[in-house]
A and B are shown apart, each in its own frame.
Chain A
Amino acid sequence: MADHPFDEGRLRAAASQVADDLPPDLVDRLITKYGTTAALAEEMTALGRRVWAHLDRRGRTVPPDTYPQFAVALLSVRGRLAGVQQNLANVADVYTRLLAFGDVPVGVAIATRLLKDKDEHLVGPMIVAARTEREVRARRQQPPMFIGMVTAAVVAVGGRDADDLTADVVAVLDRGDILAARHRAGLKVAPGPDAGYPVLGNADVVGQIAAYRVAIAEMGGVAASEQVVAAHGAQLATSLRRAMTTTLGGAEPDVLKGLLEFARFLGGPEAGESTEKIFGKLHPEFLSPMEFGGRYEVPVEHDSPALTGAVGGTADELLLHADHVARWVLVELFAGTRAPEQEVLTAWLTGCRPPDAQEGMAFLVDRVRRVDRRLRGPAGELPELVERAGTAAAFAVVRSNVRDALTLDLDGALLTRSIFPPLWTQRDGAVRLVASKLRLAIGRGVVNSAKASLVAAVVVRAPAQQVRRAVDLDRPETCSCDDGPRPVEEVCPHRPWGEAGRVEDYTTLTRFSGFSTESTTRMHVKRYDGPWREWMREVREEAQ
């Protein structure tokens, strides 16, 4: 029979992509069980061979272009029992069901697998929601979080013609915006902080979500008005507050619960739970303060010869060396990334990201630090590099940039700088953007806010830019860099992306973050234990 013979290499590639696209906490569990993602992919491939034979005996084939979905079906992803499936018939079932929905992206297929058995009926709506959302996002300027929530709610509420879903969601967004505008105009907000939102949210965002809910109900034939929006707004504020105060502990789970509360509210009493599940499983990135990754620790070995530096030698030797360096750069950039992160990376590396865009800023800054650390440090054993269709363009750009840089005899941080397009036009804006995400990760309050600013100012720097561990008591209030670039050993927080040199010291950091003295700042650099602690550690350990 076999129209399509079993292609082991291709399935292994699909399996390893699936393994990479799993949510980080699941990857952690699977690595505990199998050792590495490569070992996991190997197990999946072995099981795949058996399932393939099982299907073949029943006269069915597995076309190679469905290997990604096939690979997803090979995994059982739920709870403690996460791992490679035990039951061949189960795999075949899951695979068949996924195929019924046509072309399902791996990330979405994985998201459907994260649903509990009792939520099996949400698999279809989830796939439809993911598709609709992509179309709406291509057309609309609204925050992706709003689009994701509204789409999930429109799909979960149901009763709409599948062909019109995109238009329906766009209509809800438009209608919700004008309802929110009118509601806001009538809202009497008292001056001062709003005690109603101790952790997350504010009258504006709550009014916006309430307005979207009213617009969804209106689409189902329920008459709407600003008064209804106001009533819903009050109700949402109450449930938000309740969600925030039912748990003790850190701010992060609270913030996360708050956002899920928004989604749940949008679906209303009938479809709230489904909306929350569809949105939450499809978009773990919206629920994480820093948006993307940053969870994968890349171990650094300190016992092998330096990675870069002048190579001399023949043209062939240079090319070989360039290939090694490029491989390192790519591994640091792409390690542990999933499809949405790979899209952000590719857009940036191939020059499609405007230099003052916000997308994925915290994530990209983190990746810059990783590459910078690697290229300044010793090499270690050359890593495996898995290439995918989606990353080929980015890989080619990095390879060619590295080759050019090495031909020019650049090394370390200068090399990094020559590989990467600028991430910002003004460093200040990038620092503040990242600080806002860190605030959500670290939690509220004056000290936390100062800490978030401190960490952002330390970490958000271009390659070849350093933090000087020193106090500068004579530093004037205004930096004199308007008169021209400053020498590398001087500190200037405003250096453009391409300019090497020091960008911060304890004095600039103190002024920026608002700590009272340089020694307070130094203490926080030393004791900081929140997100990105490794980059803070790097600064305090670096010899200067």
Chain B
Amino acid sequence: MLTAWDGFARVDYLPIPGRVQVTLSTVEPTVFGRPRRGLACAFAADDTGGPPTFVEVDIGFGLTEDEEVLLGGPLMAVVNGLVGGGPEARCTRLTLDEVTALARTWAPYRDRVLARPLVEMRSGTWTNGLWTSLAGLGLVAALRARPMAVELYRDEAEEVVWHDVLLPVDLAALAMVDQEVRWSVYREWDPVAGREETGVVVRATGSPGSAPRLLVGFDDGDGDWVPLVPEPTEPQVVIAVLPLDPGTGEPALRFRTGGRTDG
């Protein structure tokens, strides 16, 4: 009987509404989810380590680099042959190793969609590195409550409220940071725009004697990754500042490891 691990994929391109769909045929019951705006996926309900059985990407003017990483080389080769033409569906066969790669890449979304009770977040592969996506942190609620002034977090001021999250252990090790990462919210006057800017600041501590290689971004489909960079005053601490409008919906916060050339 047919399962997603058999690797039979159907890749669809629909110019209206501008969408790419990938189906890995299976007879197993599935669970559907929408990890972020513009991206939906399903996973076999009983497969805790499986690839997506279905992926839907709203592509707008094209796929982002992120979406290319998520779909991976073999599926992207098919997608590239379709996008720009008329509506079309094309079948392809993924090898076992290709299905395995897909399953590893999608691990963070799989855990979220299957809503598995997890002791700790697991990472997925991201090209040669690792990534994860942490949802439901309450970033927007914190922003609305009482963002601190931007200079405060730099001073480790008492009144700053830091929130802790735990990175997957393998991701932290590869990024050369402590597993515990902190975030807070800020506001500052932007003289150029002539208005106040708000956002989230993320702060990690590098392992002793190492140069941390960690990137962070909102999992909102924009595809932006911001490297965490050393604080001048505290070289072991790396931070990233991510502007966020409190009027938006709550995004997940995602992390990935990066090489020196990244960012």
Contacts and interface: CB of A to CB of B under 8 A. Distances in A.
Bound together: yes
Contact of B5 (A142, A182, A203, A358): A358
A60 interface: no
Contact of A192 (B3, B33, B95, B96): B33
A259 B1 contact: yes
Interface in B85-136: 87-93, 95-100, 103, 113
Nearest to B19: A185
B140 interface: no
Given A429-B97, A430-B96, A143 B23 contact: no
Identify whether the interface residues of B are mostly helix, strand, loop, or mixed: mixed
Interface in B18-77: 19, 21, 23, 25-34, 40, 42, 44-50, 53-54, 56
B32 A291 contact: no
B8 A194 contact: no
Interface residues of A, number: 66
Contact of A193 (B26, B29, B170): B29
Task: Please indicate which of the listed interface residues B21, B27, B169 has the most CB atoms of chain A within 10 Å of its own CB.
Answer: B27
Nearest to B113: A191
B97 A289 contact: no
B96 A514 contact: no
Given A142-B8, A429-B97, A429-B100, A204 B29 contact: no
A424 B95 CA distance: 10
Contact of B14 (A182, A200, A432, A448): A182
A453 B32 CA distance: 22
Contact of A202 (B14, B29, B89, B90): B29
Contact of B25 (A146, A191, A514): A146
Interface in A166-206: 174, 177-178, 180-182, 184-185, 189-194, 197-205
A440 B32 contact: no
A444 B4 CA distance: 16
Contacts of B10: 177, 180-181, 208
Contacts of B98: 356
B17 interface: yes
A439 B103 CA distance: 17
A209 to B, nearest CB: 10
A184 B12 contact: yes
Contacts, number: 183
B21 A181 contact: yes
B2 interface: yes
B6 interface: yes
B251 interface: no
Q: How large is the interface on B (under 10, 10 to 19, 20 to 34, 35 or more residues)?
A: 35 or more
A314 interface: no
Nearest to A449: B46
A174 B50 CA distance: 27
A304 interface: no
A448 B46 contact: yes
B27 A478 contact: no
B7 interface: yes
B5 A439 contact: no
A432 B100 contact: yes
Contacts of B42: 189, 202, 204
A356 B96 contact: yes
22 contacts: A178-B89, A181-B12, A181-B89, A184-B21, A197-B30, A200-B28, A201-B29, A204-B23, A204-B53, A205-B26, A255-B1, A361-B96, A429-B5, A432-B100, A433-B5, A436-B26, A439-B47, A440-B3, A440-B28, A445-B46, A478-B169, A478-B173
Given A178-B88, A255-B27, A430-B96, 10 more contacts: A177-B91, A178-B87, A184-B12, A192-B32, A194-B32, A205-B25, A291-B1, A436-B3, A436-B47, A440-B27
